[in-house]
Amino acid sequence: MSSPINAILVGCGAMSGEWLRAASELNAEIVALVDLDQRNAEKRRDEFNLSAPIYSDFQETFRSVSADAVFDCTVPAVHKEVSGAALAAGYHVLEEKPLALSIAGSAQCPGTCCGTESTVQPGDPADAQDA
């Protein structure tokens, strides 16, 4: 078995449960949970029996946690900010869909053009069942 992908989960709301289920199926290890409301992160950590530390500030997390990727499960209105910071920190980003609120907004998202060696991939955790 290949070594796990170490991932930071940003946004521990409703959709994060599906992402955490998919992570376990894809051999991804969650190394940090980030949410503005610490209770959301604690709930997910307990529900999925994780030992990952909890943060409330994604910028701080990106500076202090070593990982391969970020699973961005935030609301679309902040995808650009979270993805941009993740890419700047050298992480690949798997983004909860939609990438942005409009086609024009998608074109402005980091990683949709040249300038980074990391990638942004919009996705749906249900797709992991087909992997």
pLDDT, tens digit, 9 for 90 and up, residues 57-77: 999 999 999 999 999 999 888
pLDDT, tens digit, 9 for 90 and up, residues 110-125: 554 445 554 554 454 5
Query: How far is 77 from 58, CA to CA, in rounded Å?
Result: 15
Query: How far is 43 from 31, CA to CA, in rounded Å?
Result: 16
131 band by pLDDT with thresholds 50, 70 and 90: very low
Domain that holds residue 78: 5-130
The strand pair at 120-123 and 92-96 is best described as: parallel
Identify the CATH number of the domain in which residue 120 sits. 3.40.50.720
Total domains, the chain: 1
Q: Report whether pLDDT(30) > 60.
A: yes
